[in-house]
Amino acid sequence: MRILVSNDDGVYSPGIACLARVARRFGEVRVVAPDVEQSAAAHSISITRPVSYRQTPIFGEIEGYRVNGTPADCVALGLFLWERVDVVLSGINLGPNLGYGIWHSGTVAAAKQAALLGVRGIALSTSVVHDEPDFAALEPHVERVLSALLPVDDLPLANVNLPPSPGAMRWTRQSARAYDGKVVPGTDPMGRQHYWFTVEPTIQTEPGTDLWAMEHGDISITPLVLDVTDHGELERLRAEHPLDPEAAP
Ligand code: MN
Q: Could you read off the pLDDT of 143-181 as tens digits, one per residue?
A: 999 999 999 999 999 999 999 999 999 999 999 988 889
Q: What is the pLDDT of residue 201?
A: 78
Q: What is the pLDDT of residue 248?
A: 57
CA of residue 114 to ligand 1 center, whole Å: 17
Res 232 pLDDT > 60: yes
CA of residue 168 to ligand 1 center, whole Å: 24
CA of residue 243 to ligand 1 center, whole Å: 43
Res 249 pLDDT > 80: no
CA of residue 233 to ligand 1 center, whole Å: 33
CA of residue 158 to ligand 1 center, whole Å: 17
Please tell me the pTM assigned to this model: 0.95
CA of residue 102 to ligand 1 center, whole Å: 11
Query: What phi and psi, each to the nearest 5 degrees, are found at residue 220?
Result: -95, 130
In the structure, what pLDDT confidence band is assigned to residue 205 with cuts at 50, 70 and 90? confident
Q: What is the pLDDT of residue 116?
A: 98
CB-based neighbours (< 5 A) of ligand 1, an ion = 8-9, 39, 93
Mean pLDDT of 131-143: 95
CA of residue 125 to ligand 1 center, whole Å: 8
Mean pLDDT of 173-196: 94
CA of residue 93 to ligand 1 center, whole Å: 5
CA of residue 222 to ligand 1 center, whole Å: 18
Res 22 pLDDT > 90: yes
Res 207 pLDDT > 80: yes
CA of residue 211 to ligand 1 center, whole Å: 18
Res 56 pLDDT > 60: yes
CA of residue 150 to ligand 1 center, whole Å: 23
CA of residue 157 to ligand 1 center, whole Å: 18
- Averaged pLDDT score across all residues of the chain: 95
Res 49 pLDDT > 60: yes
> pLDDT for 123-134, tens place per residue?
999 999 888 999
CA of residue 108 to ligand 1 center, whole Å: 10
CA of residue 33 to ligand 1 center, whole Å: 12
In the structure, what pLDDT confidence band is assigned to residue 80 with cuts at 50, 70 and 90? very high
CA of residue 229 to ligand 1 center, whole Å: 27
